Amino acid sequence: MSAIPFLAQVNLHFDRAAVHLDLPPGLIALIKACHAVYHVSFPLRRDNGSIEVIDAWRAHHSVHRLPVKGGIRIAANVSEDEVTALAALMTYKCALLDLPFGGAKGVIRARKSHYSDAELERIFRRYTFELHRRNCIGPAVDVLGPDLGVGERELAWISDTYLSLAGPEDDAIGAVTGKPISLGGVRGRTEATGRGVFFGLREAVADPEDMRALGLSSGLDGKRVVIQGIGNVGYHAGKFLASAGAIIVGLLEQEGAIYDSRGFDLDAVGAERAAGRSLLDLPAEAKFGPDDCFSGLEWDCDILLPAAVENVIVEENAPRIQAKIVAEGANGPTSAAAAEILRQRGIFQIPDLYLNAGGVTVSYFEWVKNLTHVRFGRMERRFEAASIARILHAVEALTGQTFDRTVFDAVAVGPSEEDLVTSGLEETMILGYQSIREKARKLGTDLRSAAFSISIEKVARAYMERGIFP
């Protein structure tokens, strides 16, 4: 792990980008500063009757736009520094992709596996109550979402608690994203971050000039990929990459790491882990135990995808990274010092600020759905299907050819909610990458500094247009 705190790492990346911008120092300082951090401590009655104090935080990094937006994570080693750093990344991530949010993040300090389901429910409901008391949750104030250790179940508890506290508020359901479909969630949210990683990587490797400089052909087909972390992000990203022809040759998790040049079937891997078995139970050419699992970051591959936690590529191991492309699926997986080493070595880095943004993008779609109270595709799906059918009938009339009914069934179909969500995510990631690549070429810098500079400019413009900064 890096000795430099996570927030300091984020701020180093920020400072490297800020030097390219002609903005007043005071405005730069305002953008970088965290607006507020709320630390709460509350009692938890354990199932055995004992009392334990739980510490939790919520950080609002920037209020240049409201509501603020950010997920919640639960882990034993979280801290105020971590939540502030993650909130800052959310600010820059949302600004980069034109999502109408300021940045926020929440953390609960607890080892999830040490608590029963009933105890976890009490933790999340009390956390929601504490946020509500401080006006730190609401569809126009602060929108919560998923992160490490927090999925649909936990978000359902949070949403239910907030709805009971908010009373007859029309848009209260929009205070939480990542909810189950039955509670106002949006189809496609579960795999959104992994799908966003796929779209971003696909766009990056499609550039012949950049790939030629790395000694690679363009496209994903045949690219060898090592994935660190096969939770929600790594698992779905790996599946989408494999479907495009990439070969998943390495997998790293806490219990160990496995390598096989023939590639792994992520469906089979997921089934094994769902059954409670370890990666090390899978057939592989090489296996490494928990003490050596991080050495897999240094395996020879085309694409290294860190998709778990921050600071896994640090100054110590950066000189030994053999990947030609480091694609940051996690938040902050590369320390500032390591990023500079990789840059000097000519390793192509796709920053988390962009590549990890699929989740918050689709959370935005869920928020919009909740505020409008209309499911995506509900009004237009049948209309579009009928329009396509009329075109096919017109072609039949003009050509004298009659299409088989299966043609109509396959072609004359309007988009579902998931189709529209996926299309919106794809468009966001494509346009986002194009803007970053164009900025990098204009400034003569790497993608990370280009992404940060775009974000800083957009936040600065928002402050100036609101008159907060002259």
Return the DSSP state at 445: -
Answer yes or no: is pLDDT of 382 > 80. no
Phi, psi at 348, each rounded to 5°: -80, 120
Q: At 392, which helix (H) or strand (E)?
A: helix 381-399
For residue 149, the Cα-to-chain-centroid distance in whole angstroms is 14
Going from the C-alpha of 93 to that of each of 163, 353, 358, 466, the distances in angstroms are 28, 5, 10, 20
pLDDT of residue 214: 96
pLDDT of residue 44: 97
| Superfamily for the 192-355 domain | NAD(P)-binding Rossmann-like Domain (3.40.50.720)
Q: Which residue has the higher pLDDT, 238 or 294?
A: 238
Question: pLDDT for 403-450, tens place per residue?
Answer: 777 776 677 666 788 888 999 999 999 999 999 999 999 999 999 999
Answer yes or no: is pLDDT of 1 > 50. no
Classify 428 as helix, strand or coil. helix
- 105, 223, 324, 369: which one is catalytic? 105
CATH topology of domain 36-185: Rossmann fold (3.40.50)
CB 47 within 8 Å of CB 119: yes
pLDDT-based confidence at 272, cuts 50/70/90?
Answer: confident
Question: pLDDT for 35-89, tens place per residue?
Answer: 999 999 999 999 999 999 999 999 999 999 999 999 999 999 999 999 999 999 9
Going from the C-alpha of 58 to that of each of 37, 72, 116, 143, 451, the distances in angstroms are 6, 8, 24, 11, 25
pLDDT-based confidence at 289, cuts 50/70/90?
Answer: confident
Task: Assess whether the region 36-185 and the region 192-355 belong to the same CATH fold.
Answer: yes
| 69 in active site | no
Question: pLDDT for 94-152, tens place per residue?
Answer: 999 999 999 999 999 999 999 999 999 999 999 999 999 999 999 999 999 999 999 99
Domain ranges of the chain: 36-185, 192-355
Answer yes or no: is pLDDT of 275 > 80. yes
Residue 281 burial class via C-beta count within 10 angstroms: exposed 0-12, middle 13-18, buried 19 and up: middle
CA distance 92 to 65: 12
pLDDT of residue 110: 97
Q: Which residue has the higher pLDDT, 216 or 290?
A: 216
Question: pLDDT for 212-233, tens place per residue?
Answer: 999 999 999 999 999 999 989 9
